[in-house]
Structure 1
Amino acid sequence: MRVLLVTGRLAYPVVKSVAGKAADVIMLDIGVAAFVTPKLLEEAIKDKAEDYDLVLVTGLSSSDFSGLENKLGVKIRLGPKHAFDIPLALQYADKIEFSHKVSACQLLANIKRENAIKDYERLEEEAAPEFMLKGVKIGWTSTMKVMAEVVDATKLSDVDLIKKIDSYASADIIDLGVPLDSTPEAVMHAVKVARSATFKPISIDTLIPEYIEAGIEAGANMVLSLNGSNIDMIGNLIAEKDIPAVVIPDDETLESLCVNIQKCKDIGIEHIVADPVLSPVGHGAVESLERYIDFRKEHAGMPLFFGVGNITELIDADSIGVNALLAGFAMELDASILFTTEHSQKAINSADELKKACMMMALAKERKGPVKDLGIDLLVIKEKRPRKDLIEPGRVIEAKRHEWMTDPKGSFNIFIDNGTIYAKNGDITIAGKDAGPIMHTIIDRGLVSRLDHMGYLGAELMKAELAIRFNRTYLQDDRF
């Protein structure tokens, strides 16, 4: 395919460099390519349009080139917004139809993501599991599943329990953590409420036999966990009901884990998930990974439980990268279930992060390549590649503050709740998901009269929007 790239003076050297021999490049008599107009473009390419199958203008352009496209008889579409995405666009130039309105980089990102999700769904559909857990494939060639714990589930009100379960939309299995001071009645009630709130499998998380029995009676689909303290008392019931169980060691040794697994097998428990126990960083994390490696060497086919939450909850670092890395370790260990909690604020959204990480690992494993350029990623703060805005600064003026004056129209209290931004001025409260529409409504209703107040509100509303996007709290006038 013959492709012509259109750019301005500032970006020309970069565009020419990244395009190489894959496309021709023409420089228009403008500084910034985003300002290209149909008239300007027509003058530049009218004598050479027939030499090309596709003309790409910068994705930053707001002009409509569809009329010129019809006039010249050549496709004129939006390319990437940034020069460094040009090679990818050229790679797909003869495979997809670029748009008049959507930049090529966004179009390609959407296509790659859709293809990645389809590939992941195909992998899971074709997978052969070790066993099924209420319709969810566990182990063998199936993809890793995410189990999300509701901490102290029996202490929550029904409404709060349902809200927490709903927040785990990305999880495959819902785990109900049971505190020591609970009761069998409270366990039964929590399991019944959970079953009414979701179709996902429910696991009961306790070592106390009475609580496990109550959970099974109420309809729990899995038991977490069995060890030497409870196998003899509750193991027969689990075998009789044919319920999968996570088995842990008594003393975090491989020998103890193997002994407990054999006990479970001897009494007829068929579906066992082994948990060598992942230790927190600073308390034997590397040693625990060695246990996983040694166990996997001896038990190639047995499903493995990987307690990611043991690390994410006990390290003051953003959970996104931690979850991604641990999911990678789990993939190499051929783990089946990744366990997490969102008990602390810093771990919020871990279930979603882990699920996406599991998808990434499955795709990378199937494609036999690194965990990059898959179509889905966990890049939230940092960027994959730099974006350079080539603008001539003109005359530079040093920024200075001026004395703040109260707006006669009054002040605003800004806060967020459940994913919504609220801006309160007297008896009026404006609510929305994005900063822009809220600011527009404030202006349209005449609730602000000073330009500096408008600027302040715009900045605070954007901080509130970013807080929602990054699952953070927001407090007006606090540093973000």
Structure 2
Amino acid sequence: MNKNDSIGHPERILFVTGRLAEFSLREVLEKLAPQVGFEYEVAVLNVQVAALLHVPLIRRRLQVPESIDWVMLPGMCKGDLQELTDHFGVRFERGPKDHFDLPEFFGQANRPPRDLSGFDIEILAEINHAPLLSDEEILRQADLYRNSGADLIDVGCIPGESWSRAGEVVRLLVEAGHRVSIDSFDQAEVEAAVNNGAELILSCNYSNLDWVSRLGTEVVAIPDLPEDFDSLHRIVDQLLQSNTPFRIDPILEPIGYGFGASLERYYRARREFPDFEIMMGIGNLTELTEVDTAGMNLVLAALCQELRIKSVLATEVINWARTAVTEFDHARRLVKYAIENKTLPKHIHYQLVMLRAPKLKQLGAEALQNLASQIRDPNYRIFAEENEIHVMNRDGYWKGTDPYELFDQFQAVVSKSLDASHAFYLGYEMCKAVTALTLGKQYQQDQPLSWGFLTQEEVSAQERRQEERKGPQCGPR
């Protein structure tokens, strides 16, 4: 693609898109055009999603300025582009399916990373049932939460019991450099915690309003019953009269117990308390819904960002929520960036794409066959494509869904049996390939599968052989 015409002027390209992608497309083109050396205009047709564009619609609605050399359409645009070329008198081409791949399309694949250092939402991470833990366990869990992104450690007490060491443990955490809140309705626990450095009390309603409002410490105001929003108004009025600092929490309810109505209460709280801080306890959803939590955390972070909810209470009690704090940390940064930059929260970073892959890059059947025909050495190449594992070396090309059967097949034709380490390597790699096929992940031999922020780096077989200086490599050259 020439970036200058025959008399030396930069090409002028018209990029066609839908309303949803306009802002981020312009952001990409603003940086890309000077790098590649073209000029551009953007035509936004009256559709939300660019993938819905098709040739008849474009022919009816598009106007092509006279100065345009050619027109780029989204890659998923349907229809015969020659019809548009004949109608408008300029060349039409399909670009990539996603405009974030335009740098690669124009040979500028290296895109600078997005700045995700900013966030607006504070994370309180609860140490659940702290009285049942040793001091060492409490400190270890607090450090883990802080390293996961928590801003404040919430010491969770046991309802109906009074813990004599609440103040002592809070002091221990404060001395270790943690900011601390106390989660209790017991007066002795709360007063001891506040006297030893707790800066926030969870929670305050009419059952403890009389004494908690005298402590001078910020409280989380909640309704007496989740559905009784009017009681929240009365509690706020009392806290204002006593000059008690507070934030409010209308209480997020679990699915099946008023979840939808509780979301509406957060919207109502923002309308009726426009200047007050709001908190959301997200554990009622993440802990009480049997599903992977990363997606829930992203949606909850987006809701909080849009409603200016500046703090959440997160927990990691049940196993499927064991990384909930880290997930919300990534989510709060992603949604802040997306909302501030008026762009969709995609193709910004992939740390929360954990189960599958953001994009699958596959060679295809023809390329795999060509590659197999050119191999002249005994090293095995393994691919995972088209719902099959593909194994090839100079002795043959085998493919199928059962790694045991594949192993028997290529073992039957090789001149020499595999040694134990080589057999282990091939089994390990085929196990990864099966996992990739099962989940829709990208598989690349000798590379770790990507699990988002949970990805573990691994030393390849080739690197191990080089370090050990033993025998030939068993991975690909």
Q: Shorter-normalised TM-score: what interval?
A: 0.5 to 0.7
| Secondary structure in 2 matching 1:343 | coil
CA distance in 2, matches of 1:175, 1:287: 27
Q: Which residue matches 2:368?
A: 393
Pick closer, same or farther for the CA change 1:83–1:357 going to 2, 3 Å: closer
The TM-score with structure 2 as length reference comes to 0.58
Q: Which residue matches 2:394?
A: none
Pick closer, same or farther for the CA change 1:186–1:364 going to 2, 3 Å: same
1:88 to 103, 106, 123: 103
Q: Which residue matches 1:287?
A: 261
Pick closer, same or farther for the CA change 1:158–1:88 going to 2, 3 Å: same
Contact 1:184 1:214 in 2 (8 A): no
Pick closer, same or farther for the CA change 1:374–1:86 going to 2, 3 Å: closer
CA distance in 2, matches of 1:297, 1:205: 27
- What amino acid sits opposite 2:231 in the alignment? S
Contact 1:146 1:338 in 2 (8 A): yes
- What amino acid sits opposite 1:397 in the alignment? W
Q: Which residue matches 1:14?
A: none
Q: Which residue matches 1:265?
A: 240
The one of the two structures with greater contact order (alpha-carbon pairs below 8 A, sep at least 6) is 1
Shift of 1:373: 3.8
Give the stretch that moved more between structures: 252-261 or 373-382. 373-382
| Secondary structure in 1 matching 2:398 | coil
CA distance in 2, matches of 1:304, 1:85: 35
- Superposed counterparts of 1:197-276, under 5 Å: 197=176, 199-237=177-215, 239=216, 243-252=217-226, 253-269=228-244, 271-276=245-250
| Secondary structure in 1 matching 2:317 | coil
Pick closer, same or farther for the CA change 1:91–1:186 going to 2, 3 Å: farther
C-alpha RMSD of matched pairs (Å): 3.5
Contact 1:154 1:182 in 2 (8 A): no
CA distance in 1, matches of 2:407, 2:353: 38
CA distance in 2, matches of 1:383, 1:469: 9
1:153 to 130, 144, 148: 130
Unpaired segments of 5 or more residues in structure 1?
5-20, 25-81, 94-103, 125-142, 406-447, 473-480
CA distance in 2, matches of 1:461, 1:383: 14
Q: Which residue matches 1:322?
A: 296
Q: How many residues align?
A: 313
Give the stretch that moved more between structures: 244-253 or 448-457. 448-457
**Which deviations, in whole Å up to 9, do the C-alpha atoms of 1:92-129 show, x marking residues without a partner?**
94xxxxxxxxxx4xx42xx323x343xx2xxx6xxxxx
Contact 2:100 2:347 in 1 (8 A): no
Shift of 1:178: 0.7
- What amino acid sits opposite 2:241 in the alignment? D
Contact 1:349 1:471 in 2 (8 A): no
**Which deviations, in whole Å up to 9, do the C-alpha atoms of 1:197-237 show, x marking residues without a partner?**
3x342100111122111110121111111111111022112
CA distance in 1, matches of 2:335, 2:450: 28
| Secondary structure in 2 matching 1:260 | helix
Q: Which residue matches 1:144?
A: 121
Contact 1:348 1:471 in 2 (8 A): no
Contact 1:147 1:175 in 2 (8 A): yes
- What amino acid sits opposite 1:216 in the alignment? V
Q: Is 1:456 paired with 2:427?
A: yes
Percent of paired sites with the same residue = 25
Give the stretch that moved more between structures: 158-167 or 174-183. 174-183
